[in-house]
Amino acid sequence: MRYLMACLLASLAWAQPADKFEFLAKYRGVGGVLATTVGPGPTPGSERVYGSYLYVFNTIEVVAVDPATGDARVYANPVKSESGAWCMVTGPDGNIYLGTLISAHFLKLDPKAGTLVDLGRPSSTEEYIWAGAFGADGRLYGATYPQSKLVRYDPKTGKLEDLGRMDPKEMYAHYVAGSDDGFMYVGIGTSRANIAAYEIATGQHREILPESAQVVGQAKVWRGEDGKVYGSAGDHAFRLQGWTAEALSDVKAASPQPPNRLRDGRSVQLTGRTLKITDPKTHATSDRGFSYAGNELPVFRIGFGPDGGLYGSTILPIHIVKLDATAHEFRDLGDVGGGEIYSFLSRKDRLLMAGYGALAPLMSFDPKAPFNLDPGRGNPTLTTFATADSGWRPQAMMEGADGNVYLGSVAGYGKLGGPLSIWNVETGKVEQFYNLIADQSVVSLTAWRDRLIGGTIIGGGGGSHPTQTEARIFIWNPRTRQKEFDTVAVGGAKGITDLIAAGNGRVYGIADDTMFAFDPESHQVVPHQKVKLGEGVFNSVGIGSDGRIWGLAADGIFVIDPKTETLSMVAKSPAPVTGGFAMRDGAIYLVCGNAVYRYSMGPVPE
C-alpha cells in the first residue's frame, strides 16, 4: 500500500502553481577565452588578434581585436549548437581555423571577406576538437575527444576525414603537431599518457612512448621554435622524429612556436576585454581595453554568505557575483580562475568556496572587505596544499561538529578515488583521505550525531576508467579519522547524491533513480521509491521548517516526507534547472541557465 501511495504521489507532478517561482536576475558577462591566434586583418598589411569566447548553453563568439587601435569586431557563430572552440590556428592561406565543442566542427574565418563559415563535422562520434595544426601536406589536422581521434580538413578540396582512434582506450587527444618530414604527432591522455605518430603518406599510426613514460596525465606535443617537434609526459621529455621518441636528458626541448606574436615581435595575451601587449626587448607591458558586450553566461553554484547576501559563480570563467534583488541584477565582485566553484559554505564571518580550475582549490572570502587579489593580503584568502589537484570537483562541503570543514570530491583528470578532505580554515591545514572506497570518489556528505555519512560515485576524473560497479554509503568517525562501515546503497546504482539526515534519525539520499533511507544504527539501507529526477544538481537538498526534505530535480522541486518515506514532485520550474542550491526563510533559490529564481515553499497537497 505504501508503494502504491508513493506512485500516486509521484503521478501528481507539479501540484503547485508556477507563480510560486519568482524571477530574481539574469547574468550577462564575458566568457572564457579558450584560444587565441594572431593573423591577417581585413586589409593588406593589417593584423588582428583573434579570440574564441566560450558561452556554455549558448553559442561561441569569435572576437577580432586590432592591436594598434583596440577596435573590436564580433563574428557570429554559424553553428549555434557550438558553445566554444579550444582549437584556433592561422592557416598558410591567411584564414583562421577553429575546432569547436560540443559537436566537433571545423570553422573558417576569412578576414578579407569578413565571414565565419561552417566547414562541417569531420567525425560523427566526436564532441571536442581540442587542438589543430597544419601538416607538411598543407592540410589541417585536429585532435579530438572522446575517442582520441585524428581528423583532417583539406582547404583545397573541402574534404573532411576521420582518420580513426590514435589510442584504443584513452579518451583525450589533446595536442597535435606536424613535422616537416610528413608526420603528425598526437598527445594522448589522461588515464595513461602516450604520443601517437601518424605518417601522412601511408596513413599508418602507432604510439611511441616507452612504458616508463606512460604515466597518469596528459601527454603534450609541440613544434619548437627550431622547427623540430617535441613531446612530454610527466617528467619525461622527448624529441620526436619519424617513428621514434628520443628521450632528452641534458638537452632541453625548444620552446613552442608562439601563436600570439605580432610581426614586430611583440607578444599578446587576450583576457576578458583587455589585450595585454609585451615588448620582448624591454619586457614592458601595456594593456589595451576594447569594447565587447559579452553574452549570457550561466551561473553555476549559489550560496548565502554570512552577511545574508546571495553569492554565485559563473561557468568558465569564475566570475564571483552577488545578487542585487532590488535591481534584479548581479554585481560582479571579481574573477578567481577559469573553471567553476562547486561548493559554497557560510561559516562564521566568511564565505568559503571550493573550486575546480580556480586560483586555489579552497578560498575564504570576507564580505565586509573589498574583493582584491593582492598577493599576501588578498580577499579571498587562497588556500593550497601539497596534495592539491586543480582538476578535482569538490561536489560536497559541510562544517563538522568539531569546527573543521569536510569536503567530498571527484578525483582529478585520469584518476580514480576522489578524497574526503578535512580543512582547518583557521590554520589553512588540509588533510586528504583517498580511496575510502576503492577507486570511488566521495561526492555527498551529511552529519549524523558525531559521525559523517558519505556517498560515492564509481567514476573519477575526466578520461579515467571505472573499476567498480556499485556506489556505496559509508560512516566516518571524525575523531579517529577512520571509516567504520560501508555498504552498497542500491544494487547497480553508479552514484549517490542528496544525502541528508532527517529528524527521525534516518539518512535519506538518491542513488541513480532510487530514493532510499539509511539507518546508521542498524546499518540497514531500504530502497523506497523509483524516481525520475533527471540530471539534477549535486547535493541540492535541505530541511524545511515543516521537517520535510526539499530539493531540486532537473525540471523542478521535489519533497521527501520522512513520515511516509515517499518522494513527490511538487512544482515545475520555469526552465530546466542547471544550478543551485540555496535555502533560506521558507524559499529555495535555484539556477536555470543564466537566471536565478526564488521558489516559495508551502504545503504539499495530501
List, for residues 268-296, the tens digit of each pLDDT value.
999 999 999 999 889 999 999 999 999 99
Q: What is the pLDDT of residues 151-163, one digit of tens each?
A: 999 999 999 999 9
Mean pLDDT, range 51-56, rounded to an integer: 97
Cell numbers at 396, concatenated = 560536497
Closest residue by Cα to residue 294 from 271, 264, 311 = 271
Domain 298-554 maps to which CATH number in 1.10.510.10, 3.90.700.10, 2.130.10.10, 3.90.850.10? 2.130.10.10
pLDDT for res 252: 82
pLDDT of 194 over the 50 cut: yes
Cell numbers at 192, concatenated = 595513461
Question: What is the Cα–Cα distance from 551 to 540, expressed in whole angstroms?
Answer: 5
* Residue 1 pLDDT level (bands cut at 50, 70, 90): very low
Task: Match 581528423 to its residue by C-alpha cell.
Answer: 151
Closest residue by Cα to residue 507 from 540, 471, 475 = 475
Q: What is the pLDDT of residues 166-186, one digit of tens each?
A: 999 999 999 999 999 999 999
Question: What is the Cα–Cα distance from 433 to 418, expressed in whole angstroms?
Answer: 9
Closest residue by Cα to residue 577 from 604, 596, 549, 550 = 596
pLDDT for res 13: 41
Closest residue by Cα to residue 166 from 137, 140, 190, 186 = 186
Mean pLDDT, range 210-224, rounded to an integer: 97
Question: What is the Cα–Cα distance from 62 to 50, expressed in whole angstroms?
Answer: 7
| Domain extents in the chain | 33-289, 298-554
* Residue 250 pLDDT level (bands cut at 50, 70, 90): low
pLDDT for res 397: 98
pLDDT of 14 over the 70 cut: no
Q: What is the pLDDT of residues 305-340, one digit of tens each?
A: 999 999 999 999 999 999 998 999 999 999 999 999
Cis preceding linkage at 581, omega within 30:
yes
Q: What is the pLDDT of residues 95-132, one digit of tens each?
A: 999 999 999 999 999 999 999 999 999 999 999 999 99
Q: What are the backbone dihedrals phi and psi of residue 10, each rounded to the nearest 5 degrees, phi first?
A: -65, -30
Closest residue by Cα to residue 71 from 48, 55, 38, 51 = 48
Mean pLDDT, range 562-588, rounded to an integer: 95
AA letter at 56: V
Give 525's strand partners: 518
pLDDT for res 497: 97
Q: What is the pLDDT of residues 558-571, one digit of tens each?
A: 999 999 999 999 99
pLDDT for res 603: 64
DSSP-derived 3-state class of residue 4: helix
Question: What is the Cα–Cα distance from 408 to 499, expressed in whole angstroms?
Answer: 12
Q: What are the backbone dihedrals phi and psi of residue 258, each rounded to the nearest 5 degrees, phi first?
A: -75, 130
pLDDT for res 10: 37
pLDDT for res 5: 32
Give 322's strand partners: 311, 331
- 483 Cβ neighbours under 8 A, 6+ residues apart: 436, 474, 475, 476, 477
Q: What is the pLDDT of residues 437-456, one digit of tens each?
A: 999 999 999 999 999 999 99
pLDDT for res 376: 75
Q: Is residue 523 a contact partner of residue 487, using CB atoms and an 8 Å limit?
A: yes
Question: What is the Cα–Cα distance from 125 to 352, expressed in whole angstroms?
Answer: 40
Mean pLDDT, range 44-59, rounded to an integer: 96
pLDDT of 551 over the 50 cut: yes
SS (H, E, C) 133-200: EECCCCCEEEEEECCCEEEEECCCCCCEEEEEECCCCCCEEEEEEECCCCEEEEEEECCCCEEEEEEC
Question: What is the Cα–Cα distance from 132 to 109, expressed in whole angstroms?
Answer: 15
Question: What is the Cα–Cα distance from 24 to 33, expressed in whole angstroms?
Answer: 28
Averaged pLDDT of the chain: 94
Q: Is residue 516 a contact partner of residue 508, using CB atoms and an 8 Å limit?
A: yes
Q: What is the pLDDT of residues 385-442, one digit of tens each?
A: 999 999 999 999 999 999 999 999 999 999 999 999 999 999 999 999 999 999 999 9
Q: Is residue 267 a contact partner of residue 260, using CB atoms and an 8 Å limit?
A: yes
* Residue 257 pLDDT level (bands cut at 50, 70, 90): confident
SS (H, E, C) 456-509: EECCCCCCCCCCCCCCEEEEEECCCCEEEEEEECCCCCCEEEEEEECCCCCEEE
Question: What is the Cα–Cα distance from 111 to 98, expressed in whole angstroms?
Answer: 13
Alpha carbon distances (Å) from 330 to 126, 364, 581: 36, 20, 17
At the topology level, CATH places domain 33-289 in: Methylamine Dehydrogenase; Chain H (2.130.10)
Topology alike, domains 33-289 and 298-554: yes
pLDDT for res 345: 98
Q: Taking the chain, what is the end-to-end CA distance rounded to the nearest angstrom?
A: 16
pLDDT for res 19: 57
- Count H helices and E strands in the chain, helices first: 1, 53
